[in-house]
């Protein structure tokens, strides 16, 4: 289910970080972000909020939407701002 704030019509690339130890989730996501096309949106699955990731995404000019769940796990949607 794509949240309303995430642009529609984009192809979704899912990166599952739930079984990666720190700092691998950040490395995997940032590497995927650097290859992300304007027509793609990245969906990060993680067991907790990746707080240190946000300033690095901001630095790259990415937009995000975060969904948190009762067990502490999250889905983080990342996409490029379309000019």
Partner 1 sequence: MRSSGLSLDQAPPEDIPFRFFLTAPVFGLLAGSLILYRGVIVFSSSWHFETIALTHLITLGWIMMIMMGAFYQLVPVLAGGQVPWIALSRAVHFFMIIGILALAGGLIQISQLLFPVAISALLLAFTVFLTQLLTALFRVKANRPVVVAMRISLISLALAVSLGVLEIGAITGLWPPLIERSIVKNLHVTLALSGGIGGLIVGVGFHVIPMFYLSSPFPEKRAVWILRAGMFSLAAVSVMLLNSAGSALLFTAMLPGVTASIIFTLTVWQMLLKRKRKVVDATLRFWQIGLLAFPLSLLCLAAHLFWPDERLTFAFGLLFLMGFAATITNGMLYKIVPFLIWFHRFSTLVGKVKVPLLKDILPAKRTSGQLLQAALAMLTLLPGALLQIDWLVRAGAIFWLISSGWLFLNLIFAFRQKPVTND
Return residues touching partner 1 (CB under 8 A).
18-24, 26-27, 30-31, 33-34, 47-52, 55-56, 59-60, 68-72, 74
Question: 9 vs 35, which CB is nearer to partner 1?
Answer: 35
Helix (H, G, I), strand (E, B) or coil at 33: helix
Q: Which is nearer to partner 1, 1 or 9 (CB)?
A: 1
As measured in angstroms, the least distance from the Cβ of 50 to partner 1 is 6
Q: How far apart are CA 69 and CA 72, in angstroms?
A: 5
- Cβ nearer to partner 1, comparing 4 with 70: 70
Q: How far apart are CA 12 and CA 51, in angstroms?
A: 22
CA–CA separation, 83 and 56 (whole Å): 20
Contact of 12 with 44, CB cutoff 8 Å: no
Nearest approach, Cβ of residue 60 and partner 1 (Å): 8
């Amino acid at each position: 289910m794509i949240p309303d704030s995430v642009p529609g019509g984009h192809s979704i690339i899912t990166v599952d970080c739930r079984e990666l130890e720190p700092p691998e989730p950040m490395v995997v996501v940032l590497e995927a972000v650097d290859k992300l096309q304007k027509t793609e949106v990245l969906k990060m699955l993680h067991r907790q909020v990746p707080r240190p990731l946000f300033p690095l995404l901001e630095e790259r000019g990415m937009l995000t939407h975060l969904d948190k769940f009762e067990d502490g796990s999250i889905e983080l949607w990342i996409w490029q701002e379309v000019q």
